[in-house]
Structure 1
Amino acid sequence: MQVTIYHNPECGTSRNTLALIRHAGIEPSVIEYLKTPPSRAALVKMIADAGLTVRQTIREKGTPYAELGLDKPEVTDAQLLDAMLGHPLLINRPFVVTPRGTRLCRPSELVLDILPADAFKGSFVKEDGERVLDDEGKRIA
């Protein structure tokens, strides 16, 4: 299965998502989006495929969001996209793209929706100790 993750290794959610993909036995294409941002077309497609709005995918915390005035309701999607491409830190993460769909994996276990359910063998525990999969590889509700 071809899987791509737009990853930030400094982000715990992104690390947990990558670990879940690998736990499924899949070695994804890892794009460190802060070093190699997606093209405008790719970003627009990911957002649309995930069923989100541009504003839902912008990261506010720890970014220049407020200082750029992006919090104003009159800022258009095109302006938000320009800002995200100019400052990739504004792109929320991690986005994961698979043949089964695209998700902004916040929380990380959202990646389970777009990976084969039968791929998981055994339990999975996130960095913070939260169990996501039981001993049989089944999702814990």
Structure 2
Amino acid sequence: MTDITIFHNPACGTSRNVLGLLRHAGLEPTVVEYLKTPPTQAQLKQLLADAGLSVRELLREKGTPYAELDLANPKWSDDELLDFIGQHPVLLNRPLVVTPLGTKLCRPSEAVLELLPVGRLAPFTKEDGEVVEDSGARRT
């Protein structure tokens, strides 16, 4: 599996753990540091459709201007919310991973295992010391 992309924030522990799990599986994804290179509104719409997420599910509240921008207010349309993500990429929840097996918001980090080819990985230790045991379960 070679066509893998991670929308990554290197300051985020979950994002670093997902990248580590991908590399632990012997995969080298294309890393998009979305704070430096935000996805376009069209790319975000495609990611949402592929992951089966709503725009609101993609919004991150913690450590972002979410409250200051009043984004919990239902008055904002999906397109307006996507515009806010474009203006403030830190609002994008992460990490988003795209593989030939699907697209997923990988929170918790071990959720990325569902997007990997069949097979079991050796245990992986996350930054906080938690060990991820791979059950081998995958999307079909």
- TM category (shorter chain) comes to over 0.9
Listed as ranges, the matches of 1:3-14 within 5 Å are 3-14=4-15
Contact 1:131/1:140, CA 8 A, preserved across alignment = no
Listed as ranges, the matches of 1:75-94 within 5 Å are 75-94=76-95
Identical positions, percent: 61
Contact 2:119/2:136, CA 8 A, preserved across alignment = no
For normalisation by structure 1, the TM-score amounts to: 0.91
CA displacement at 1:117 relative to structure 2 = 2.9
Q: Which amino acid aligns with 1:132?
A: V
In the comparison of the two structures, how many residue pairs are matched? 136
Q: Structure 2 CA distance, aligned partners of 1:119 and 1:40? A: 36
Q: Structure 2 CA distance, aligned partners of 1:139 and 1:128? A: 20
**Counterpart in 1 of 2:135?**
139
Q: Which amino acid aligns with 1:123?
A: P
Report SS of the residue matched to 1:117.
coil
Contact 2:94/2:106, CA 8 A, preserved across alignment = yes
* Pairwise CA RMSD: 1.5
1:111-132 per-position Cα deviation (integer Å, ceiling 9, x unaligned): 1111113162x21111111111
Consecutive unaligned residues in structure 1, runs of 5 or more: none
Structure 1 runs, 4 residues or longer, greater than 4 Å off: none
Q: Structure 1 CA distance, aligned partners of 2:136 and 2:29? A: 24
